[in-house]
């Protein structure tokens, strides 16, 4: 951990993650699920401003769906870093979308504070360890085992429905359904559709207009296809390598 100096305002870029594939391989005694997944970092990102003081303020188009108190992952990351400060987060990554918005914010703060311990990251959330490392990687365990992979430049088109998904609820439904295996590469797809049936309409619309087979991002609710298909309500993003992000110039 490095000494943090907040005499000058700090601005950090917190990039989203995208889960390209996800297999649920088991369950630990404590109920946490084991996975085998491939994740990549996207250039879709939040911007975090840290100044002296305390508290957290959310602004931006996705500010309404994230907590503005000490339960926010970014605030918890500041506590883990032992660094008091006021956070202003411009939320561009939607919450409950499977894109790791809260995890991305926490990871950006851990990187800034010089905290690279996967155990610290994992205590904040299962996606935080990957978001700290970034790039492209194979992920296993509950998310804390990271095997870096070579970067592949990709464009993806994302559609995030208005109705969002709760990750714990999706995993509970997956358990209740006795662990379905998805032929498309994301074992949580059937559970997400069972919990939020309206996801099917969004998936079908994206598939019909692009000619591609949409895949669910993590536990949802975002659907994605490879390639650029810009249209209202969609976000076209590019994968980025390890090290992208950090302090904003």
Active-site choice (46, 91, 105, 127): 127
Q: Is the pLDDT of residue 90 over 80?
A: yes
Domain end, chosen from 120, 153, 186, is at 153
Q: Is 91 a catalytic residue?
A: no
- The total number of structural domains that make up the chain: 2
pLDDT for 3-53, tens place per residue?
A: 455 667 899 999 999 999 999 999 999 999 999 999 999 999 999 999 999
Q: Look-up: residue for tokens 């994968």? A: 239
* pTM, rounded to two decimals: 0.92
Q: Residue 101 is part of a domain; what is its CATH number?
A: 3.30.230.10
Tell me phi and psi for residue 162, to 5 degrees.
Answer: -65, -35
Q: Is 127 a catalytic residue?
A: yes
Active-site choice (17, 91, 105, 187): 17
| Helix ranges restricted to H, 10-146 | 73-80, 101-112, 118-124, 128-133
* H/E stretch holding 157: strand 155-159
pLDDT for 169-197, tens place per residue?
A: 999 999 999 999 999 999 999 999 999 99
Q: Is the pLDDT of residue 2 over 60?
A: no
Does 35 share its domain with 134?
A: yes
Domain end, chosen from 153, 173, 189, is at 153
Inter-residue contact 86 to 53 (CB < 8 Å): yes
Does 143 share its domain with 173?
A: no
**C-alpha span between 161 and 145 (Å, rounded):** 30
Domain of residue 25 covers: 10-153
pLDDT for 107-122, tens place per residue?
A: 999 999 999 898 999 9
């Amino acid at each position: 951990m490095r000494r943090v100096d907040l005499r000058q305002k700090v601005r950090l870029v917190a990039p989203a993650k995208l889960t390209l594939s996800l297999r649920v391989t088991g369950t630990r005694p404590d109920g946490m699920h084991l996975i085998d997944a491939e994740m990549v970092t996207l250039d879709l990102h939040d911007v975090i401003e840290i100044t002296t003081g305390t508290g957290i303020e959310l602004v931006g188009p996705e500010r309404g769906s994230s907590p503005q108190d000490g339960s926010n992952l970014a605030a918890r990351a500041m506590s883990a870093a032992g660094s008091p400060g006021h956070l202003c987060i411009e939320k561009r990554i939607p919450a409950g979308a499977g894109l790791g918005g809260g995890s991305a914010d926490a990871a950006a703060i851990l990187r800034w504070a010089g905290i690279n311990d996967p155990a610290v990251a994992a205590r904040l959330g299962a996606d935080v360890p990957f978001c700290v490392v970034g790039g492209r990687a194979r992920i296993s365990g509950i998310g804390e085992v990271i095997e870096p992979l070579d970067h592949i430049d990709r464009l993806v088109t994302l559609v995030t429905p208005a109705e969002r998904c709760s990750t714990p609820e999706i995993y509970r439904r997956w358990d209740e359904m006795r662990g379905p295996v998805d032929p498309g590469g994301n074992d949580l797809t059937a559970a997400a559709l069972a919990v939020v049936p309206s996801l099917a309409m969004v998936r079908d619309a994206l598939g019909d207009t692009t000619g591609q087979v949409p895949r669910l991002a993590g536990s949802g609710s975002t659907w994605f296809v490879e390639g650029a298909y810009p249209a209202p309500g969609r976000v076209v993003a590019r994968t980025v390598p390890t090290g992208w992000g950090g302090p904003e110039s």
